[in-house]
Structures are given as C-alpha cells and as structure tokens.
Amino acid sequence: MKKNRLFQIMLNAMPDFVAVIDTNLRYMAVNTAFCNFISKEEQEILGKTDLNLFPENISEQNKEETQSVIDSGKPFERKMEFPSAKGRTRWQMIKTPLTGTDGKIEGVLWRGRDITEMEGLENQLLQFQKTESMGPLAAGIAHELNTPMGIILGYAQLLKEDVPEDGPVFEGLDVIERQCKIGRKIIADLLRFSRQTESKLSELDINTCVEEVLSMVENIFNTDRITIKRDFGSALPSIKGDNTKLNQALLNLLNNARDAIGTDGRIIVSTRYNKANQELIIAVQDNGSGIPPEIMDRIFDPFFTTKAVGKGTGLGLPVTFGIIQELEGKIEVQSPPWHVEDEKYSEAKGTVFIIRLSVSEDSQ
C-alpha cells in the first residue's frame, strides 16, 4: 500500500477533523471529518484557500491564525461555537506548525474536536458536586431554624387572639405570622433539598406523568393568562423511575416558567423519543424574559435566585437537577431557545429546559 494512501486512510479514521495547509495557505490534505465539518467534498477543498471555502469574516480570521503559526513557529489554540443540525456545538481548534527535516516550517496541521458533550458532562459533574456538598449544610441549617421559627409563629398566633383586630399590634403580629410562614417554606425547601430519600421505582409513562402535573397547575396559570400548549410524542417507551420525584421536578420547571413570564404568556411542554440516542426528551419552554448570559452558569447553584426577597429560595432548580441526576438523566437549559428535537415552536426569546432520560433496551 502506498504511503499517501495509508496516510489518507489514517486521517479518515480519526474522529477529529484534520487539515494540512501549506505555507501558501492552500489546503493540501483533509480527512472525511473536515469535509463533513464544512459540508464540502475533498476535491472542492484541495488546492483552495480559506477565502474559497469560508465566509469572509471566518476566512480572514483563519488566514491570520494560520499565518501567525507559520511566522512564529508556535501552536495556536482556541474554542469556538458553531451552529449545526443538532443545535450549537463547541469545538476546540488547534493549529500546529509542520517542520521538514531541515527544521524549516513547511505548513500547518489544523485539528478540530467537537467538545460539546465533554463540556456538558464536565458541567454536570461540577453541578452534582456543588449540590452534594451543600446537602448536609442545608439540613443542619434547616433543623436549627425550624424550632425557633415554630415557637415565634405559635406565639404570634396566640397573641393575635388577645388583641383587637383593628389595632396596630394585631397588624404587627399579622406581619410576623406571614413572615414566619415564608420562613417555614424556606426551611421545608431546605429539608427537601438535603433529604436523600429512597426512590420508589415503577414503570412510568412519560406523557401520563407530564399530564398529571399540567392538570394540577393549568387552572392556576390561567388566572395569570398563561396558556399551556401540549405537544406530546406518540408511542413513547416507558422508563423506570420515581413518579413523585419526577412530578416534583416538572412542577419546579413549570413554576419557574410561570415566574419568568409573569402574565400573558405561553408555556409549551413537549415530549419526544430520540431513537438514535435511546432517550426520552421532555422540554418545558416559555416565552418569558429569558436568562441573562452572565448568570446562566449559576442557575442550578443552591440558594442562587434572582427573585425578590420572599419570592424564591433558590432551591427549585437545584432540587430538579438532583432528581434528574437520580434518574440517571441530564438536564440542560437554552436561553433563548435555539433547538429542541422536532420542536416547531422555538422563539427568539424565552427559555427552554430540556430533560433527557435514558431508555433501557427492554423498554423499547
């Protein structure tokens, strides 16, 4: 087998995309992954420059990077985000100088790797570690606060029985009672967040689970003129899970969507089965205010909230994250939504939370 043919076979076997560029900035060799990356055939690429292959803004940047590697003899690395059929993907790009036997630079090796899934897993692991470490602390704080909060609430309620309802003292006691009830809700959320209860596993029909929660909240949401649109897939396989916990996770996402909208909006809840990845997908999408980019990395952090004091504890999304982890699933967020499998309702604003749950082979 000729060396050039063997070289090409080796290149095509690599999952990373690879391109060899000479000192005149022309592409001399590419593998199949590179052809797929720029959606061109090999014969359309070889002998061409970036100007022939990419839009002007990208070609100029590529040209400058490659030339800097040739001039400096030093590698260049960066991460980039690209749109694709599956949404937006993250790529790690590395350009390395190629030297001949005389030590002179003869070209550049450009290698690119799709790191979307790897970065997603890293973020999931980091979030899991945060959640795990905060659990014992949350439990300790909740138990310490529960008793004094209960005593204050009890005495306030007793004193209200002994003072005139139209006086300032009654009004003050009423404020104490309301604030104590808010405090007890926070304590309950803390305990729910920290509690590691044993799951009661059963066969779950996802559409039935989702409908149970939607039926529970739909009338309440209607009072704020928030409509719920169902877009359920058909003949979905079942999964094993804890119905109560999954309902809690969905309820948290729906309440989060409601808070983001305020009034006069729409929530779309869709279910799908991705046969290629053997996973069930539940998407909760709203057309609310969206999530600012600067806080996107913090939304699953325990106790982080952008809501007004007394309106949120910052535990709803961490609890949801923990439940989905327990179901051996994944949860991701897009704001604004840019892609949901088979989703027809993606809008320029709002947020979508996507739950992915693995389906075992015997459930298909």
Neighbour count for residue 22 (Cβ, 10 Å): 16
pLDDT tens figures, 113-159: 888 777 766 666 655 555 555 556 666 677 677 788 888 888 889 99
Residues 79 and 9 in one domain: yes
Residue 344, pLDDT score: 45
Strand residues in 301-343 grouped as ranges (E):
330-334
Residues 236-259: tens digit of each pLDDT: 999 988 888 898 889 889 988 998
Q: Which domain holds residue 212?
A: 198-364
- 72, 92, 114 — which closes off a domain? 114
Indicate whether 191 and 302 sit together in one domain: no
65 shares its domain with 179: no
Overall number of domains in the chain = 3
**pTM for the whole thing?**
0.52
> Which residue, of 81, 114, 147, is where some domain finishes?
114
Give the confidence band of 167 by pLDDT, cuts at 50, 70, 90. confident
Residues 304, 227 share a domain: yes
| Nearest CA-CA partner of 68 in 29, 104, 34, 25 | 25
Q: Is residue 181 domain-shared with residue 80, that is, in the same domain?
A: no
Residue 51 in this model has a pLDDT that exceeds 50: yes
User: Alpha-carbon distance 83 to 346, whole Å?
Assistant: 15
What is the reported pLDDT for 12? 72
State whether 119 and 109 are in the same domain: no
pLDDT in tens, 73-94: 999 998 887 655 555 678 889 9
Do residues 232 and 361 both lie within one domain? Answer: yes
286 and 248 in a common domain: yes
pLDDT tens-digit series, residues 55-78: 888 889 899 999 999 999 999 998
CATH number assigned to the domain comprising residue 28: 3.30.450.20
The CATH number of the domain holding residue 231 is 3.30.565.10
- Same domain flag for 256 and 300: yes
Ordered alpha helix ranges (H), the chain: 3-13, 32-38, 42-45, 50-53, 56-72, 116-160, 168-194, 206-222, 243-261, 316-326
Report in angstroms the alpha-carbon separations of 237 from 203, 208, 213, 234, 249.
Answer: 10, 12, 19, 9, 20
pLDDT over threshold 60, residue 195: no
Instruction: Report how far residue 65's alpha carbon sits from residue 185's, in angstroms, rounded to the nearest whole number.
Output: 55
Integer Cα distance of 222 and 293 in angstroms: 30
